[in-house]
Structure 1
Amino acid sequence: VADNVLVDTWFGDAAATDQAFAAADHVVRMEFSIGRVTAAPMELRAALAHYDAADGRYTLHAGSGGAVRQKQELAAVLGIAPERLRVLSFDVGGNFGSRNRVYPEFGLVLWAAQKLGRPVKYTASRSEAFLTDYQGRDLLTRVELALTSDGRFLAMRADNISNVGGWCVSLSPLGKGAALITGSYAIPAATLRARAVFTNTMPTNAYRSSGRPEVTFAIERVIDVAADQLGVDRIALRRRNLIPPTAMPYTNAVGATYDSGQYEANMDLAMRIADWSGAEKRRAAAKARGRLFGLGLANYVESSIGAPRERTEITVTPDGPIDVVIGTQPSGQGHETSFAQVIADLLMVPVEQIRIIIGDTDVVSVGGGSHSGRSMRHAATVFTKAAAGLIARGKALAALVLETSADAVTFVDGRFGSPSTNRTLDWHELAREAQRIALPEALATGLTIVTDNEMHDPVFPNGCAVAEVEIDPETGEIELTRYACVDDVGRCINPMIVHGQTHGGIAQGVGQALWEHCHLDDAGQPLAGSFMDYGMPRADLLPSFATEIVEVLSPTNPLGIKAGGEGGTTPAPAVIINAIVDALRSYGVRDITMPATPYTIWRAIHGQR
């Protein structure tokens, strides 16, 4: 490239946007910097490689966001056919996007194992991880919002510059954010200039809710600023412009089609569980204690798509479990539980009978891994398709065993039977009987089915968050006293797991707003090399979260699933900064840069003084 600009592209209708701005009664302009953070998973990056000279095959044990993709990328690095490499990737202590792309060390240990003729192991230290893990966020955005005198949004302009680092690992944050710049609002016209630039820093990668917290921050902050400048209520301004459920599916001004959602109802529910109506009493009580009280709200919509293809192989064993091979890759999301629940319901068997098999590329040949909130939706869809095929296969086998026609076989409560006989067979009994008879070629593999599926349409989880803070004006010390969040995840398979995902997501988003930042010197060298100088959220710094799940089913897949892993993070930076600015309003503070540390807040207060 001629300069450090890797990507420079435009989205939206420039002519319509310019026309709307020319007709606007008010224009609000803001610039925001969404800083650089790192995932800092508990388990450090590690790999163990082995080369078998007898068959010329490589084996790698390493954490990843998807073993199949890791195999493909590493085979290309080594210049070998993919079938010569086996990747085993099982439980890892966190991912958050940082493990989704292959790291140089993984290729090096494989190469070294072949050269040395012995296994080679690599484990990063925590300091090495801070220096070399792919990092996240790092976006500069300039936003303009055009409004009528009565507070109707007319148009929006945005200019997003994504710092991809010294070399490009992923453009996902820039692309994912581009589709959602207008957020949850009916803004008729919008344009976005999206640029990715190289700098002398570590590369950035997808980090939890890739690209969506950044653009959510921009739209939710500029709405609060607009409400302040126009002297109108910030909730009323949002309510006037939220996309109504009757408009769904709704295509926004840059071309993304939101599948479903009840955005205003989400906001009302979030305000209710946060006791918004009682906030002024709490504000007065805080003032009596000499503390500043801030109340913030942020709506969000995010997109979930990810790799479009998924495959499953389901095998009913005669005496053991029902084995389910699937290509998604868990890193703490509880796939083994949720996936087993779906299969058990579809096949009408106890969940204890289901064994989920993942992470070994000699067994799992196709699969997109876990990213972009794709796993539950893609897995459940291919499971639904496979289960229907397996039940049909079971009826054909049962017809042979029961000596009747397949059309006469019923499947009720996990058992195959026929009205012409009193005999019924469960899955395992049928598998045993099928071993004892001659099977036609079409049924030669018995109760095993391999099913592929592709989905290219995204879904759009959505919701609302409310936060309250108290600030000591003398020291800038901030306490997050209340946090409530509503998430529309479509059909929720396991509420306990989804609530857990939401809690973790909130902590990460709050962490960026208040503590986390990858500080760099003027040459781009990292200054944070340990947890001593990188501020992580701790349990004692967070309140009990009030979280609610909303299930507005998506029409894009059989079970109506959206996604539940990233909604906690998406609105969190915006809602925290909105709350802080609300607390500092009496000092004339209109914006504050993340992370809003006590020193940053103290400086904002005393700078205005």
Structure 2
Amino acid sequence: MIRNIPDGLIGRPISRKEDTRLLTGKGRFTDDFNLENQAYAVMVRSPHPHAVIKSIDIETAQKMDGILGVYIGEDCIMDGLSEIPHSPLPKTDNDLKLRARDDKEVFIGPHMLLPCDKVRHVGEAIAMVVADNRYQAMNAAETINIDFEVLQFNLDGLKAANGEASPVWDELPSNTCIDATFGDVLETEKIISTARHVVRAEFYIDRVTGVPIEPRAAIGSFDKETERYTIYAGSGGAVRQKHELAHVLGVLPEKVRVLSYDVGGNFGTRNRVYVEFGLVAWAAKKIGRPVKYISDRSEAFVSDYQGRDLYSKVQLALDENGSFLAMSADNISNVGARAVSFSPLGKGSALISGSYRIPVACVRARAVFTNTIPTQAYRSSGRPEVTYVIEQLIEKAADQVGIDAQKLKEINLISQQEMPYTNPIGLTYDSGDYHKSVNLAKKMAAWDDREKRREISKQKGKLRGIGFANYVESSIGSPVEQAEVYIKPEGIVELVIGTQPSGQGHETSFAQVAADWFGLSLNEVKIIIGDTDIVKIGGGSHSGRSMRMAGTVIVRACDEVIEKGQKLASELLEASISDIEFSNGEFFIKGTDSKISLFEIANNLKKSKNGKFRSSDLDVIKSNEMHTPVVPNGCHICEVELDPETGEVKIVNYVAVDDVGRAINPMIVHGQTHGAIVQGLGQAMLECCVNNLENGQILSGSLLDYGIPRAGDVPHFNVELNEIHSPTNPLGIKAGGEGGTTSAPAVYMSAVFDALKVYDIRELKMPVTPHNIWQTIQNTKKFNV
């Protein structure tokens, strides 16, 4: 009935409603909850990357003070617990259909709560100790003696793909669980074989981990009378976790309640169930008391799902004018010891051509098992990897062809007139003006004056470089979302939604949409999330889906409320429906002063005693299913100053122009962009999961060893929006939480290589630490001498 309201709330940079609560210590994070008479669980974890469990001696632990139970894999089997149903294959209509070689059924590696046969990575939980307090449990865990038969192990995805490693799973001797090809292989090979220019390269994108500010925690309880489990656990989606935990525990979903309120960061690490969530619920039933588990940071480094870890071998064919003709890619994703998610492989493979007009392409997508922690969709799932690959590939092509890299990118950039554009792998880009973003970014970065700044740095003994990168990413996510809208007589709209914020500001942005649609104030809308006894359906928050999916279903639910209210108002005001109009939360008869508000109608329904009206007559539950992807995009420019004597790099300017579709709250979008950029820069500058190659032990097991960017490592970001509304949904939304992560590794590395071009250095592996840069410079000097 209504759409954009002039001077409304949509599009305004409103301060976040939730910040006062969170900044004054009133958040409701998992560890903030404590239940009466609760016990504590501690996990015993594997010190080996691959070993047979021959025996486990728990006798001493069982006899220690305060110990309530010690449990191993055999106990899980005896009680009928099942594996975690991760469902790693993407399932929306527009996802690439990943499959095993020869179209066989994909083997994913079952994820039991505790293993009985083998351990397959360092940090895998083997036993659980439950005690009156955490310290008693930790002391008992130290006494558990496990007899291992240590096996050969492999940490390297490329070795796994090439058949150079022992099988992680006996059921799959090859270690390759996905092997699928997309695009036109024959035409791609034909064009590459005859092209004037062909550039070839290989890239490896390191493994990283999310490091959310709130470590993982869970509390499980069991009610004997109702035979219901309750689990408190921060997550990326309480509804999904409810169904997966019900499967694990062997009960109907209605016998499980998940409470996931405030969540201190996610970045993909919390989107899948962890073994501890099922274990505390099961243990609570066994001992008749609630059981709490808290991960410390060191434990998180050996057990949180990790991200990235992609090898890519690519070719790009060009004609004599620099126009792109064809591209091929061979992508190998190291999914770790078992398949938790193939999303990074699928999402990335669909976007190998990036923002560019490449007529023909093909990609071979493989996923392999290794003796490492399972990988999962980490912020921007698969897109930073392929963006880095295509951007660096084009820069290598520029060197080979003799065309300026930025010019080469620009002449092959997809134009707005070509939208909607279907790339050579089959993914359709819904909308965008990529050239506008480029021009705006160059203006903001004072691109034309870059050589003057380079000369100033040179006079100080420094090297200056400027990097330029375009990006696209795709957002689909779980296709179903539901909104429940309840108009309360006391003057509040209650909105129940199944997404799960972990810092994105949903309480504000969602309220802006509903308040705008009804013409109310922001404080008249209350968002309810995270309790599966209230939230029945919801896809959670991941894949940049929340604002688009939730916004779409919210406005459709609000429209239905207004439609219902119009009929009720016509009855209460004794007027024809056609004479009833709605504005600013009120229904009124055209041309008169006679009116009634939404809340007054709700109050009338509540007081109605003659059966004519029901109190639920204004309630609306609306579901929506959306498989069509949107493609956020943008252009980022990074400028650095590098000290050749130390290898230290200082970012002196960073410009980001992002097309997120309609920005419901630009301030929140900019905040998301800042965080996303820093996370992407972390991958390029500092972050890397490192293992000892001799014994598989994790060397980056604390924040002393795993570097993350700090405020002093980054400049003030200069960010701008280029809002091209998507035609795929009523609000024109794309996504705004992941673009910075997608582009930052590519643009930072581009800037570093530009600074190092005086040494003709074009090969550096991320992360490029000062030592790595300094050592490469020294090696180059020696070679030139």
> Shared fold (TM-score greater than 0.5)?
yes
Greater C-alpha radius of gyration? 2
1:89-131 C-alpha deviation (Å, 9 max, x unpaired): 0111100000000000000000000001001000001100011
For 2:646 and 2:176, the matched residues in 1 are separated by: 41
Which of 565, 571, 574 aligns to 1:394? It is 565
Identity of aligned residues (%): 57
- Equivalences for 1:112-123 in 2 at 5 Å? 112-123=283-294
- Larger deviation, residues 361-370 vs 473-482: 473-482
2:711 counterpart of 1:539 = yes
1:54-87 C-alpha deviation (Å, 9 max, x unpaired): 1101101110000000111111111110000000
Q: Which amino acid aligns with 2:484?
A: E
Q: Which amino acid aligns with 2:370?
A: T
Q: Which amino acid aligns with 1:565?
A: G
Which of 639, 649, 652 aligns to 1:468? It is 639
Q: Which amino acid aligns with 2:745?
A: P
Which of 659, 666, 687 aligns to 1:488? It is 659
For 1:73 and 1:414, the matched residues in 2 are separated by: 40
For 1:534 and 1:568, the matched residues in 2 are separated by: 21
Q: Which amino acid aligns with 1:101?
A: R
**In 2 relative to 1, CA 439–477 (structure 1 residues): closer, same or farther, beyond 3 Å?**
farther
- Equivalences for 1:242-253 in 2 at 5 Å? 242-253=413-424
Q: In the alignment, what sits opposite 1:347?
A: 518
Give yes or no for contact 1:146–1:156 (8 Å, CA) kept in 2.
yes
Moved over 4 A (4+): 438-444
Q: In the alignment, what sits opposite 1:222?
A: 393
Q: In the alignment, what sits opposite 2:259?
A: 88
Partner-residue secondary structure (3-state), 1:569: helix
Aligned-residue offset at 1:18: 1.4
2:258 counterpart of 1:97 = no
- Equivalences for 1:436-585 in 2 at 5 Å? 436-437=607-608, 445-522=616-693, 523-585=695-757
Q: In the alignment, what sits opposite 2:775?
A: 603
Give yes or no for contact 1:397–1:443 (8 Å, CA) kept in 2.
no
For 2:204 and 2:610, the matched residues in 1 are separated by: 66
- Larger deviation, residues 571-580 vs 441-450: 441-450
Partner-residue secondary structure (3-state), 2:309: strand
1:290-337 C-alpha deviation (Å, 9 max, x unpaired): 011111111000000000000111001001411000000000000000
- Larger deviation, residues 291-300 vs 515-524: 515-524
Q: Which amino acid aligns with 1:526?
A: I
Partner-residue secondary structure (3-state), 1:238: helix
- Equivalences for 1:11-160 in 2 at 5 Å? 11-160=182-331
Partner-residue secondary structure (3-state), 2:515: helix
Q: In the alignment, what sits opposite 1:272?
A: 443
Q: In the alignment, what sits opposite 2:363?
A: 192
- Larger deviation, residues 427-436 vs 536-545: 427-436
1:255-288 C-alpha deviation (Å, 9 max, x unpaired): 0000001111111111111111121111001100
Q: Which amino acid aligns with 1:110?
A: A
2:379 counterpart of 1:205 = no
- Larger deviation, residues 366-375 vs 11-20: 11-20
- Larger deviation, residues 34-43 vs 444-453: 444-453
1:14-67 C-alpha deviation (Å, 9 max, x unpaired): 121112112311110111110000000110000011111111011011100000
Aligned-residue offset at 1:438: 5.6
For 2:319 and 2:763, the matched residues in 1 are separated by: 23
Q: Which amino acid aligns with 1:266?
A: S
- Larger deviation, residues 4-13 vs 411-420: 411-420
What TM-score, normalized to structure 2? Answer: 0.77
Q: Which amino acid aligns with 2:632?
A: P
Partner-residue secondary structure (3-state), 1:389: helix
2:395 counterpart of 1:234 = no
**In 2 relative to 1, CA 439–270 (structure 1 residues): closer, same or farther, beyond 3 Å?**
farther
Give yes or no for contact 2:605–2:615 (8 Å, CA) kept in 1.
no
Partner-residue secondary structure (3-state), 1:193: strand
Give yes or no for contact 2:605–2:613 (8 Å, CA) kept in 1.
no
For 2:208 and 2:780, the matched residues in 1 are separated by: 28
Partner-residue secondary structure (3-state), 1:284: helix
For 1:439 and 1:44, the matched residues in 2 are separated by: 55
Q: Which amino acid aligns with 1:589?
A: I
Partner-residue secondary structure (3-state), 2:312: strand
- Equivalences for 1:240-389 in 2 at 5 Å? 240-389=411-560
Q: Which amino acid aligns with 1:567?
A: G
Partner-residue secondary structure (3-state), 1:584: helix
For 2:532 and 2:325, the matched residues in 1 are separated by: 51
Q: Which amino acid aligns with 1:483?
A: Y
For 1:439 and 1:515, the matched residues in 2 are separated by: 70
What TM-score, normalized to structure 1? Answer: 0.98
For 1:422 and 1:595, the matched residues in 2 are separated by: 68
For 1:121 and 1:24, the matched residues in 2 are separated by: 62
For 2:600 and 2:592, the matched residues in 1 are separated by: 16
Give yes or no for contact 1:512–1:595 (8 Å, CA) kept in 2.
yes
Question: Where in structure 1 are there 5+ consecutive unaligned residues?
Answer: none
1:323-364 C-alpha deviation (Å, 9 max, x unpaired): 000000000000000000000011111111000000000000
Give yes or no for contact 1:514–1:597 (8 Å, CA) kept in 2.
yes
Aligned-residue offset at 1:420: 7.6
Aligned-residue offset at 1:440: 6.8
Q: Which amino acid aligns with 2:273?
A: V
Aligned-residue offset at 1:412: 2.2
**In 2 relative to 1, CA 576–441 (structure 1 residues): closer, same or farther, beyond 3 Å?**
farther
Give yes or no for contact 1:393–1:443 (8 Å, CA) kept in 2.
no
**In 2 relative to 1, CA 252–440 (structure 1 residues): closer, same or farther, beyond 3 Å?**
farther
**In 2 relative to 1, CA 420–187 (structure 1 residues): closer, same or farther, beyond 3 Å?**
closer
Aligned-residue offset at 1:439: 7.4
Aligned-residue offset at 1:446: 2.5
For 2:246 and 2:273, the matched residues in 1 are separated by: 11
For 2:472 and 2:194, the matched residues in 1 are separated by: 28
Q: Which amino acid aligns with 2:559?
A: A
Aligned-residue offset at 1:2: 2.8
Partner-residue secondary structure (3-state), 2:742: coil
For 2:653 and 2:623, the matched residues in 1 are separated by: 45
Partner-residue secondary structure (3-state), 1:228: helix
For 2:182 and 2:353, the matched residues in 1 are separated by: 12
Q: Which amino acid aligns with 1:108?
A: L
Give yes or no for contact 1:37–1:516 (8 Å, CA) kept in 2.
yes
